Amino acid sequence: MSKINLQEQIKNLLREADIQINGNRPWDIQIKNPDFYSHVLADGSLSLGESYMNGWWDSKAIDQFMEKILLARLNKKIKNSKNLLWNIAKAKIFNQQNISRSKIVGKKHYDIGNELYKNMLDSRMNYSCGYWQKADNLEDTQIVKLELTCKKLQLKPGMRLLDIGCGWGAMSKYAAKNYGVKVVGITISKKQARLAKEMCQGYDVDIRLDDYRNINEKFDRIVSIGMLEHVGYKNHRSFMQIADKSLKKDGIFLLHTIGGNESIKTGDSWISKYIFPNGLIPSPVQIIKSAEGLFRLEDWHNFGDYYDNTLMAWHKNFNDNWDKIKNKYDEKFKRMWNYYLLICAASFRARNNQLWQIVFTKPSSNKKYKNIR
């Protein structure tokens, strides 16, 4: 097929999303390399991201560009069958998130530099959605989120809290400092663990560089923020079984996770290759099925709308502070990271992705749970 025909094919697809090639609106796409057309038609999402990283196209508002693509469901129309089938086959045959492979995301994403995250996140380094209902800036929304989470957990002094996927220790420190609980935080990232220990120094927090599958203790409460996305559908049940085994009879388990509207077995090809290796966003069905018979569902709180605000705030911080870290990264990384933040913001704005806080208790407990917002 000639380049002219390829261009016309892409042009017609983009028209469905109200996007013009070389148009003058913020969300329009500016093509700088004619090879863009054949590559995107051949490799879909992967090539769209890679060609942006390579400077083959631009847009003044990538978040608006991607939002329109998602709302028009163009992502469903442009897929590379060879790559898609291979990724699905791998997901079915192999456990992409077993103990040895689970460390890959720690090295590839979380260990790329604490300075990057310090200059992008809030002062406590929360790498998860803020709660914007009662605040209007990133710093305060994260405090509100932490407080809301602690209240949902019904923490009391002296309790033992397990923080699965503790990141840089924001939740662990907040709970220990403000609620007097004893915390064990688990992370697979070496750099996260090192900094989390520093940030939690002076509080009753034990940060461990370990896999959640090695937990063999009892806790009054369990919290997991932004961790299930790395577990994989093959391990959802074992994740819940470990939480069940680790939680006392009258305990509470709060699961904070990004969620999807459909049950899938393989993630977006560009995100999987460049941002979150082996990541997979769970669906409601996958979560409920994995918890069935182990936990009682008490509350399911969706505040995915706020992830758009959070990601755009991270995007602003990243670019405002780029000069402080640019000696450690190149321009291609900058384009990649901006693309990541903006397409993720678009996915929440288009309601393709959700953010859930789910509260579970044990079926054997007769204690009543009061929902909190």
Distance (Å) of CA 261 to CA 63, 67, 273, 283, 347: 20, 16, 22, 6, 11
How many Å apart are CA 69 and CA 16, to the nearest integer?
9
Rounded to the nearest angstrom, the gap between the alpha carbon of residue 33 and the centroid of all alpha carbons in its chain is 31
What torsion, rounded to 10 degrees, do the Cα atoms 338, 340, 343, 347 define? -140
Q: Which of 129, 150, 166, 344 is flagged as catalytic?
A: 344
Let me know: does 284 contact 302? Beta carbons within 8 Å: no
Give φ, ψ of 240 to 5 degrees: -65, -35
How many Å apart are CA 191 and CA 195, to the nearest integer?
6
Q: Is 93 exposed, middle or buried (0-12, 13-18, 19+ CB in 10 A)?
A: exposed
> Is 129 noted as a catalytic residue in this protein?
no
Q: Is 234 exposed, middle or buried (0-12, 13-18, 19+ CB in 10 A)?
A: middle
How many Å apart are CA 57 and CA 48, to the nearest integer?
9
Side-chain half-sphere CA neighbours of 350 within 13 A? 23
Catalytic residues: 344
